[in-house]
Structure 1
Amino acid sequence: MNNLVEGLQASLFATSAEHSSSLLVREIPAYTTPYGAAYLGDSREFLAKLPEGSVNLIFTSPPYALHFKKAYGNVDKADYVEWFLSFAREMFRVLADDGSFVLNIGGSYNPKVPTRSLYHFKLLIRLVEDIGFHLAQECFWYNPAKMPVPAEWVTVRRQRIRDSVEYVWWLSKSPFPKADNRQVLRPYGKDMLRLAQRGVRSTVRPSGHAIRSSFDKIDNGGSIPPNVIEDEIPTDMLTLGNNSANDIYTKRCKESGIKIHPARFPAALPEFFVKLLTNEGDVVLDPFAGSNTTGSVAEQLERRWLAVDLVEEYLLASRFRFGGRG
């Protein structure tokens, strides 16, 4: 194992009688890479073994509280908040004081009626008021590849429109987490370049916002991104589709006859937050790793990473993202 992972591994686990009999959490990783390690087990037990303040960023997308069951497992809405808080308490403990917890979570409909559940908003409130997280910013992922469901209300009765946005809660342990938006600047758009050529005069908009003569300057390295997560193409709101069928992970799963994880997110989603909230050598953790997109992104950006998942088939297949065998 390389020195980066060895150094992290050495401080990870303090074995005790309480954990020594656990069949789920393994101190030996399922696999390692130059920058990280993936573990099979229950992430609540895994998190309990991590030292306090040892993680800089937790980026994850847990199973959502959908009103229908998914192959990867999901918790009923009635139980979801309490279920997730059992993980969140340990997440808060292991985060560095200037660390962040980024949670991608989708909304859902209530069963048998065309109304929306509030479970994800209830969770957000509990994460802040009960656990102690701060809401740094609410962000959004626009995914045009989302299916028009529930079909009964969207495509059959035609009483609702297609849901294509997921929430991304950026939470932090303190009000001032480590973050630098200069690390995620985008190329200036056509309108900004046109303003730079034409120039602007100082004025005050009807909203009260002051426009100064320096507004048109384009010498700051790029445009500050909005809280709608975008890909690398500089448009006002680019979509991050999630229907990739030709990436190396998908191809290798098909070739090997291994089931493809059904709830993958595009690499651009964790990439944005890893760049925004960490530096090279920082530790990134995904406690619901699935196909380990987060670890793959962290590896490419030279961040140390830890991944945990309860389903062995998904975790072992995630090696394909690093050129390994499933």
Structure 2
Amino acid sequence: MVDAELNTIFCGDCLDILKDLPQNSVDLVVTSPPYFQQREYGGTGIGNEKTVEEYIENLMRVFRECVRITKKTGSIVFNLGDKYIDGNLLLVPYRFAIEVQKEKQVKLINELTWVKINPSPKQDPKKLVSSKEPFFIYTKSSDYYFNKDAFLEYKDKYLNGSKKAAGNDIGKKYFELIEKSNLSPADKVQAGKELLEVIREAKEGKIESFRMKIRGMHALPYGGQAGGRLTQIENKGFTIIKIHGNSMRKDIIESTVETIKGNVHPAVYPEFVVQELIKLLTKENDIVLDPFLGSGTTAVVAKRLKRNYIGIEIHPEYIEYAKQRLAEMPSYTLELFI
């Protein structure tokens, strides 16, 4: 891989650009292609086909190139949405997955299910609310990189058999961040009081762990989060998230559906899910590629996690917005926590 290609967004048809990239050069492909007839992405490209069969075949052309450029130790992750036609659910993601299986180029090691905390309420009143999407994780060999401990590590990183560690490790970290923050003196005092209380709960075993978000110190999903957390950060300058449950690494991940200011791009897949996949499947300085970059989520997360990124996007207006997001990233950001 030529260094000039790293941390770059290419404008054009992804199939044409992928063909120019060398084989076995990328550590991770993670992407969410345009959904079939779900939204108007403009033009006649992928997502605007007349039939689902044509849509799947176009996706497969891109997928084959993704397989070619991915290293033997790398992974390929595709997130796909479904579609109703005449009241019938087409099972689009699974049609794609079956076509991939037929070609026997890769192994499907996991289907990670993204559960949407805030699914769209604008759905058919005579159907249950659709609230999940699959992320298919493929590998080219059995020698793929897989850092299981990094996936959702906030759930037990500091509490693996020791409740006291929550106070000693997480508490110290957050007290330091409170002092570094631009919170008012009064807000810093209040943040310290609430932090001491949640540390006590962790030590007593009432909660497994916790996370604290402080205004200006932690990155937020672009467009904010659902519920009262964003309001708390705006009003108080911080919010504390209590974590319950066990530390098993399951194939289900919960996250909000994110919005984007001005509706520049019709769909934004969740930064938090992308973050956890990049941590699971790559190391620092690895190369992460997204052939359908859209508004730039993959590039933003890769940069935050100190990975190199390559983005491909056919719409110049989306590229400009992605570049804006990258340029506006604060110099001091931490990982997202849901």
Corresponding residue number in structure 2 for 1:58? 29
Instruction: Calculate the TM-score normalised by the size of structure 2.
Output: 0.65
Corresponding residue number in structure 2 for 1:75? 48
Q: Does 1:282 align with 2:286?
A: yes
Corresponding residue number in structure 1 for 2:100? 127
Amino acid at match of 2:40: K
Corresponding residue number in structure 2 for 1:215? none
Q: Does 1:170 align with 2:137?
A: yes
Q: Report if the CA contact (8 A) 2:259-2:268 is conserved.
A: no
Secondary structure (helix, strand or coil) at the match of 2:10 reads: strand
**Once the 2 structures are TM-superposed, how far is the Cα of residue 167 of structure 1 from its aligned partner?**
0.7
Corresponding residue number in structure 2 for 1:88? 63
Q: Does 1:49 align with 2:16?
A: no
Secondary structure (helix, strand or coil) at the match of 1:126 reads: helix
Q: Report if the CA contact (8 A) 1:182-1:224 is conserved.
A: no
In structure 2, what is the Cα distance between the partners aligned to 1:273 and 1:263? 19
**Once the 2 structures are TM-superposed, how far is the Cα of residue 288 of structure 1 from its aligned partner?**
0.1
Secondary structure (helix, strand or coil) at the match of 1:135 reads: strand
**Once the 2 structures are TM-superposed, how far is the Cα of residue 127 of structure 1 from its aligned partner?**
1.3
Corresponding residue number in structure 2 for 1:186? 154
Secondary structure (helix, strand or coil) at the match of 1:284 reads: strand
The CA deviation string for residues 67-111 of structure 1, in whole angstroms up to 9 with x for no partner, is x542356133131111111111111110000110011111221x2
The CA deviation string for residues 212-246 of structure 1, in whole angstroms up to 9 with x for no partner, is xxxxxx9xxx93421112xxxxxxxxx3112446x
Q: Does 1:270 align with 2:274?
A: yes
In structure 2, what is the Cα distance between the partners aligned to 1:193 and 1:224? 13
What is the correspondence of 1:1-326 to structure 2 with a 5 Å cutoff? 7-9=2-4, 36-66=7-37, 68-72=38-42, 74-76=47-49, 77-109=52-84, 111-113=85-87, 115-130=88-103, 132-148=105-121, 151=123, 154-155=124-125, 158=126, 160-184=127-151, 185-188=153-156, 223-229=247-253, 239-244=254-259, 250=261, 254=262, 260-323=264-327
In structure 2, what is the Cα distance between the partners aligned to 1:186 and 1:324? 26
In structure 1, what is the Cα distance between the partners aligned to 2:39 and 2:283? 38
In structure 2, what is the Cα distance between the partners aligned to 1:309 and 1:107? 22
In structure 2, what is the Cα distance between the partners aligned to 1:324 and 1:193? 39
**Once the 2 structures are TM-superposed, how far is the Cα of residue 120 of structure 1 from its aligned partner?**
1.8
Secondary structure (helix, strand or coil) at the match of 1:186 reads: helix
Structure 1, unmatched stretches of 5+, are: 1-5, 13-34, 197-217, 230-238
The CA deviation string for residues 91-141 of structure 1, in whole angstroms up to 9 with x for no partner, is 1110000110011111221x222x211332121111122151110101111
Q: Matched residues, percent identical?
A: 26
**Once the 2 structures are TM-superposed, how far is the Cα of residue 323 of structure 1 from its aligned partner?**
2.2
Runs of 4+ in structure 1 displaced over 3 angstroms?
Answer: 191-196
The CA deviation string for residues 253-307 of structure 1, in whole angstroms up to 9 with x for no partner, is x5xxxx5211001211110011000001110000000011100111111111100
Question: Root-mean-square deviation (CA), in Å?
Answer: 2.8
Structure 2, unmatched stretches of 5+, are: 165-207, 209-245, 330-338
C-alpha spacing 1:287/1:124, structure 2 compared with 1 (3 Å)? same
Secondary structure (helix, strand or coil) at the match of 2:34 reads: coil
Q: Report if the CA contact (8 A) 1:80-1:119 is conserved.
A: no
Secondary structure (helix, strand or coil) at the match of 1:320 reads: helix
In structure 1, what is the Cα distance between the partners aligned to 2:83 and 2:163? 42
The CA deviation string for residues 174-216 of structure 1, in whole angstroms up to 9 with x for no partner, is 1341101112223349x997999xxxxxxxxxxxxxxxxxxxx
Q: Report if the CA contact (8 A) 1:148-1:163 is conserved.
A: no
In structure 2, what is the Cα distance between the partners aligned to 1:161 and 1:301? 37
Q: Report if the CA contact (8 A) 1:180-1:277 is conserved.
A: yes
Q: Report if the CA contact (8 A) 1:54-1:96 is conserved.
A: yes
In structure 1, what is the Cα distance between the partners aligned to 2:39 and 2:303? 32
In structure 2, what is the Cα distance between the partners aligned to 1:119 and 1:323? 35
